[in-house]
Amino acid sequence: MKELEQRILSEGKNLGNGILKVDGFINHQVDPMLMNACGRELAQAFAGIGATKILTAEISGIAPALATAMHLGLPVVYARKTKPITMPDQVYLTLAPSHTKGRMVELIVSPEYLGGGEKILIIDDFLASGSTIHGLVRLTQTAGSTVVGIGTLIEKTFEGGRRALQALGIPIISLAAVASLENDTITFA
């Protein structure tokens, strides 16, 4: 998606160690017009897969998931990273390594909102190693539901996440594919 790529080039920052900072329009401050355009693009790509719900991870995945859900008319569930007291004692929980946090994070979903028999579309901000998305897949499968598609705003192709997820045999769509973050440049695939 050209609009997203242009924003990454003009406002994104290559912080080294494979980290692309997009805090000014996706991760900390969100550009709602850009999110709407991205959501429309992802919704068009996944319109025919029969999803019944969208699942994402707290917090950076919420904006693209919500924008996509608005265009598809679906509810959004997000995996929490800490368990609030309002959540039941028995939850779906998995661990996933976080590259930006430098540690393992919990992904927690209440069985109230992720039940059996759902067709889940996973939407997130990044596809890098695929670890967070694999965690969301595990939560979906534990709940007795099926992942029918994966969509992300930005894919870092050099981290191998797509390869790790291809065994699922479902569509994987990224709106911007970054092939390299070497030599202080951002290069698209």
- pLDDT at 94 (0 to 100): 93
Alpha carbon distance 138, 135 (integer Å): 5
- pLDDT at 84 (0 to 100): 86
- pLDDT at 85 (0 to 100): 87
Q: pLDDT, tens digit, for every residue of 170-184?
A: 999 999 999 999 988
Q: Give me 114's structure tokens.
A: 């992720």
Q: pLDDT, tens digit, for every residue of 25-51?
A: 999 999 999 999 999 999 999 999 999
- 3 state DSSP class of 87: coil
Instruction: List, in sequence order, every residue forming a beta bridge with 79; answer none if it has no partner.
Output: 57
Q: Are 152 and 171 in contact (CB under 8 A)?
A: no
**Domains assigned to the chain:** 2-188 (3.40.50.2020)
Q: Are 135 and 95 in contact (CB under 8 A)?
A: yes
pLDDT digit string (tens) for the chain, length 189 residues: 999 999 999 999 999 888 999 999 999 999 999 999 999 999 999 999 999 999 999 999 999 999 999 999 999 999 998 888 888 889 999 998 877 677 889 999 999 999 999 999 999 999 999 999 999 999 999 999 999 999 999 999 999 999 999 999 999 999 999 999 998 899 999
- pLDDT at 118 (0 to 100): 97
Instruction: List, in sequence order, every residue forming a beta bridge with 123; answer none if it has no partner.
Output: 151
- pLDDT at 181 (0 to 100): 95
Beta strands per DSSP E along 45-102: 53-57, 76-79, 92-98
